[in-house]
């Protein structure tokens, strides 16, 4: 049986860490990426870590005939779908970009998978792990969040993820042969312990941890803390931060479950514990030995006060749980940033 797995967006932050986890689990990953949100230099780093050449298909998931050709060429037993845009603030400012790239990209991929399944090129059961997001819970009425919470959205990024989830539900209803795992993950942070790969935003970071690391390394003068009047213990937003290696392991566990015959599922991937922005700043200062100056700024459109997971279902269905602490997340993020102050462009 083939062990090839296709990773759309596999050169990105989460995708690159998942490639390593798949390699360690005995799979043969293939990256599909247009490198709009990643850097080709990651490929050489991945080869150093895994000791194996990295197979790459460079192109856009929106190009359905090309994606079909990739699927026919490699005949993967499963696909992990990461490709898409992910910045909440940018999605509010440019919603059409998010609807086109995220929803359109998912439609293109699913059409290509359906086509190769229909003509017998693909395995008997089309198998997909979709990297969704906790943003589909909108502004939750309470925490921790379980998978049966009502879904909503507070920004176009979250809306795009919600629409894709609904598309997958409709697809499974129309064609029950599909095996689909939907992973609603929270806030990935940290880096591979080698310090060779990590998060490398192409522009001003939209997420907390890469901004904190850039302040600590001296690239930015201070951190903007968006909102200090939320109904939280210190007034700043509370999130469930999960180490990217735990998140990668969760994607592998989901894939293994589906390939092992599991029914389709939707699970949260998180630690089950929330940390405020100021808690993260303090933890990062302790891990790095560097000060992280900050200034309060108005709330951002689309942000919510608290968002953290109940991850019990993932443990029960997949045997997965987060293992890394906030200190380890900060220490690994600092190792990456301090060793690569300009990211992959250094």
DSSP 344: G
CA distance 304 to 95: 19
Given a cut of 90, is residue 97 above it in pLDDT? Answer: yes
- pLDDT score for 302: 72
- Mean pLDDT on 93-121: 96
Nearest to 252 by CA among 5, 8, 38, 37: 5
% of the chain with per-residue pLDDT over 70: 99
Distance CA 66, CA 57 (A): 10
Residue 226 lies in a domain: no
Confidence (pTM): 0.96
206 confidence band (pLDDT: 50, 70, 90): confident
Angle at Cα 235 formed by Cα 229 and Cα 241, nearest 5°? 125
Contact 264, 172 (CB under 8 A): yes
* Residue 200 within any structural domain of the chain: no
Annotation marks residue 344 as catalytic: no
Q: Which residue has the higher pLDDT, 139 or 16?
A: 16
Give residue-wise pLDDT tens across range 23-72: 999 999 999 999 999 999 999 999 999 999 999 999 999 999 999 999 99
- In a domain, residue 341? The reply is no
> Rounded CA gap, 7 and 338, in Å?
28
Among candidates 98, 275, 99, 258, which has minimal Cα distance to 180? Answer: 258
Tens-digit pLDDT profile for residues 137-149: 988 889 999 999 9
- Backbone φ and ψ of 134, nearest 5°: -70, -10
CATH code, domain carrying 157: 3.40.50.720
207 vs 171: CA distance, rounded Å: 32
* Residue 222 clears pLDDT 90, i.e. is over it: yes
The answer to which of 167-171, 236-240, 249-253, 338-342 has the lowest mean pLDDT is: 338-342
DSSP per residue, 121-133: -S-SS-EEEEE--
C-alpha to C-alpha distance for 269 and 251, rounded to whole angstroms: 9
Instruction: Determine the Cα–Cα distance for residues 224 and 109; give it in Å rounded to an integer.
Output: 37
Whether 337 maps to a domain, the answer reads: no
Residue 218 domain flag: no
Q: How deeply is 28 buried, as exposed, middle or buried, from its count of CB atoms within 10 A (0-12, 13-18, 19+)?
A: middle
Q: What is the mean pLDDT of residues 315-319?
A: 98
Instruction: Please indicate, yes or no, if residue 156 is contained in any of the structural domains.
Output: yes
CA 140 to chain centre: 20
> Which of the following is catalytic: 157, 230, 241, 294?
157
The beta strands (E) that lie in 44-134 are given as 55-58, 78-81, 127-131
Q: pLDDT value at position 345?
A: 86
Mean pLDDT computed over 2-27: 97
Whether the CA torsion 119, 121, 125, 130 is positive or negative: it is negative
Structural domain includes residue 121: yes
pLDDT at 123: 67
Residue 295 lies in a domain: no
pLDDT score at 313: 98
pLDDT confidence of residue 106: 98
Please, which pLDDT band fits residue 108 given cuts at 50, 70 and 90? very high
Could you give the maximum distance between any two Cα atoms of the chain, in Å?
59
Find the domain containing 18 and state its range: 4-189+241-272+309-323
Closest CA to 37 of 64, 61, 18, 5: 61
Tell me the per-residue pLDDT of 73-93, one tens digit each, with 9 for 90 and over: 999 999 999 999 988 888 999
pLDDT at 113 over 90: yes
Question: Total structural domains in the chain?
Answer: 1
């Amino acid at each position: 049986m083939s062990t090839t797995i296709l990773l759309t967006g596999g050169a990105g932050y989460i995708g690159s860490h998942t490639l390593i986890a798949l390699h360690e689990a005995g799979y043969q990953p293939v990256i599909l990426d247009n490198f709009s949100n990643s850097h080709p230099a990651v490929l050489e780093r991945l080869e150093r870590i895994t000791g194996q050449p990295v197979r790459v298909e460079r192109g856009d998931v929106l190009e359905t005939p090309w994606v079909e050709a990739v699927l026919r060429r490699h005949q993967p037993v499963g696909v992990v779908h990461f490709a898409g845009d992910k910045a909440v603030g940018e999605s509010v400012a440019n919603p059409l970009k998010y609807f086109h790239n995220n929803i359109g990209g998912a439609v293109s991929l699913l059409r290509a998978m359906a086509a190769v399944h229909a003509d017998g090129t693909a395995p008997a059961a089309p198998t997909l792990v979709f990297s969704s997001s906790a943003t589909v819970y909108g502004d939750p009425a309470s925490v921790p969040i379980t998978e049966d919470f009502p879904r909503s959205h507070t920004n176009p990024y979250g809306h795009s993820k919600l629409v894709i989830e609904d598309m997958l539900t409709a697809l499974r209803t129309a064609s029950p042969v599909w095996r689909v795992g939907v992973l609603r993950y929270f806030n990935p942070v940290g880096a591979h312990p080698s310090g060779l790969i990590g998060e490398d935003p192409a522009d001003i970071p939209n997420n907390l941890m890469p901004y904190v690391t850039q302040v600590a390394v001296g690239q930015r003068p201070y951190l903007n803390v968006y909102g200090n009047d939320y109904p939280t213990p210190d007034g700043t937003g509370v999130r469930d931060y999960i180490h990217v290696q735990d998140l990668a392991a969760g994607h592998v566990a989901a894939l293994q479950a589906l390939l092992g015959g599991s029914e389709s599922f939707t699970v949260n991937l998180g630690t089950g514990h929330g940390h405020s922005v100021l808690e993260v700043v303090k933890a990062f200062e302790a891990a790095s030995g560097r000060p992280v100056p900050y200034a309060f700024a108005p709330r951002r459109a689309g942000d919510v006060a608290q968002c953290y997971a109940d991850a019990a279902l993932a443990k029960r269905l997949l045997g997965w749980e987060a293992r890394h602490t906030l200190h380890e997340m900060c220490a690994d993020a600092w190792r990456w940033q301090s060793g690569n102050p300009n990211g992959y462009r250094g």
